[in-house]
A and B are shown apart, each in its own frame.
Chain A
Amino acid sequence: MRINDAILGAVLLAFALVIGLYAQSFPAIPGQEYGASVFPTWIAIAIGGCSLVLIAGGIRHWAETGAVALASWARSGHHLRALAITIALVILYILVSTPLGFIPTTFITLTVLFGILGVRLALAPVLAILLTMAVHYGFYSLLKVPLPWGVLTPWAW
């Protein structure tokens, strides 16, 4: 999905203004000219400058490209749904992996993901559990990453 450079430039310009103004609130160090705000301010000015160039270029090509050139997936409900579910699954993992534990969370996440990507329904949970346990063994047992046990804590090893 190609968004017109003018729109992207406008977003960047707004971003530059926000960080540039916010940076002015950083406390100065007494007796020093170059404090914490110098670098963010420079970056904000530079992003602002680039965004103006992008806006100018985008407006010039506006007639050819329009505001947004949709890629084929953007018109396909199936693909958009798959993307939304994938992102939602990662957010779900972030929210529940600590209370629920690595093994159940990963099992659920993977099964759903396999499901929407067209792995056979009978095969998806089997693959998911195998993969979950393999990664758990590799990272928890071999690399000593403290993956959360969550509800399975009484059976932890």
Chain B
Amino acid sequence: MILATEMVFQPQVLFTIVMAALFGLFVGAVPGLTATMATALLVPVTFFMEPVPAIGAIVTCSAMAIFAGDIPGTLLRIPGTPASAAYTDEAYAMTRKGQGEVALGANLLFSALGGLFGTAVLIVAAPSLAEVALKFSSFEYFWLACLGLTCATVVGTGSPIKGLVSLLLGLFVATVGLNNPAGVPRFTFGSVDLMGGIDFIPAMIGLFAVSEIFRYVLGMSPDTSGAQTRVGNLFTGWGRMMKQYWRQSIRGNIVGTLIGALPGAGADIASWVSYAVSKRLSRTPEKFGTGHVEGIIESTSSNNAALGGAWVPALVFGIPGDSITAIVIGVLYLKGMNPGPTIFINNPQDIYAVFLIFILANIFMVPAGWAAIKSARLLMRVPRNVLMPTILLFCVVGSFAINNSVFGITIMLVFGLLGFVMEENGFPIAPTILGIVLGPMLEENFVTSMIKSDGSFAGFFERPISGTLGVLTLALWVVPLALFLWRKFSANRVSPHATRG
């Protein structure tokens, strides 16, 4: 613990965290640029850092970006990140009623509290889960990876089939190269560059950042002129809101952390679910949508709590809770801090350092967020036609820097186009990244397990934990399918007029 404190409280580390915070606030506050994109752009830079500042930068940047997404949502009705979309209309309605500062103040306060709650859960849950996870073998890890991937396709918004296709494409990408249990070159077509596999960093930069640049070039980005950017005292009513809405805040925190911990679902989904829960359980549901702070509090708590929650499976099992932690897992491997239960035994100081940074980041959010809200006018007037080429340049240099090879830029471009086409046609892109990150783990554990059990599938169900996980996973596969068929069957029998609107 003392070691961890020493690792964190170094001028260099603190400086990195502050810079990452400013970067995250900026990217989050500019509509169209997401928290995942902020993380993706940051990764090439963290590549050259020590593990602790590298992870610290990512943690801080993602927390700030999720909060900052609320700023343009409240002032312009354009969510800065998808995680703010759930309550954008509500917050904008408050701005129109002249209560913009109350909405923003609530966002700031409850984002920070939500983040701290998620962190507390992470600190308590992760080490105890890690003890359980120590007993896991390749069978359990195989099922966990399956479970994570399944959640990624089922939980996401939109068509599950398209989510599944997106995931399978990611898994396919992961098979390219020499890096497989058999050590056979696959899908390399004689290219030396492809032997090493498709690096996930350029792929992710392409999917999350370059595709957004294409959308901008095609004139599909939101217009941000005409913002109401005069904001009064942010701290108005903090005490009153705490007293009146502590239940909503805690409920949002719990729901957010749980959804965050669920593999594949992150801050975006957490905030939608929490907003809906808040409306359903509210004593005054009729006020929702008219500029009422209650739902905002619950979902803004939720999306920041989800960040901490997502780290639990990421650190303990190496299974990402959302697309940001999918990136983090890649970075951890690069830094030699392989996620998994052993990290809690071999490098506890690293883990404590991550916890400390989480706490610091959420406390620092209050002054930094205040400054960001005050300079909202400036942030939203940044000319896009200068900003977007700058981001493209960062993408190109970042993709190059991973292996010092222009092949990285080629990967970036291909995935940028792929991401663009996928999003245009309703295919979510987060499952692709999960597939690329989890693919090798899935295959390795499967092959190891098969060798251990002499090629018998029964081995996957023989151990108690692995059997439970296996049944759970299979249930997740079979139940939605059965429900789908059942609904079709009954819809055919009941007249079509029976459906309610």
A residues bordering B, Cβ < 8 Å?
A: 1-3, 5, 8, 12, 19, 22-23, 26-27, 29, 32-36, 38-40, 43, 46-47, 50-51, 53-54, 57, 71-73, 76, 79-80, 82-83, 86-87, 90-91, 93-94, 97-98, 106, 109-110, 113-114, 117-119, 127, 131-132, 135, 139, 143-147
Contacts and interface: CB of A to CB of B under 8 A. Distances in A.
A119 B217 CA distance: 13
B182 A147 contact: no
B396 A73 contact: no
B238 interface: no
A145 B404 contact: yes
A42 B120 CA distance: 40
A47 B165 contact: yes
B186 A36 contact: yes
Interface of B: 45, 48, 161-162, 164-165, 168-169, 171-172, 175, 180-182, 184, 186-187, 213-214, 217-220, 383-386, 388-390, 392-394, 396-397, 400-401, 404, 406, 409-410, 412-413, 417, 424-426, 443, 446-447, 450-451, 455
Given A76-B219, A114-B389, A90 B396 contact: yes
A134 B32 CA distance: 24
A129 to B, nearest CB: 12
Given A38-B447, A117-B217, 4 more contacts: A26-B184, A32-B451, A73-B218, A113-B392
Contacts of A76: 219
B400 A145 contact: yes
**What are the 8 closest A-B residue pairs judged by CB atoms, nearest first?**
A117-B385, A36-B184, A36-B182, A73-B218, A145-B401, A113-B389, A143-B48, A82-B217
Contacts of B213: 86
Contacts of B447: 34, 38
Nearest to A4: B425
Contact of A34 (B161, B184, B455): B455
Contacts of B426: 2
Tell me which of B389, B392, B397, B447 has the highest count of chain A C-beta atoms within 10 A of its own C-beta.
Answer: B389
Contact of A117 (B165, B388, B400, B424): B388
Nearest to B172: A43
Contact of A106 (B161, B172, B393, B446): B393
Nearest to A117: B385
A47 B172 contact: yes
B165 A98 contact: no
A54 B424 CA distance: 16
Contacts of B220: 71, 73
B389 to A, nearest CB: 4
B175 A139 contact: no
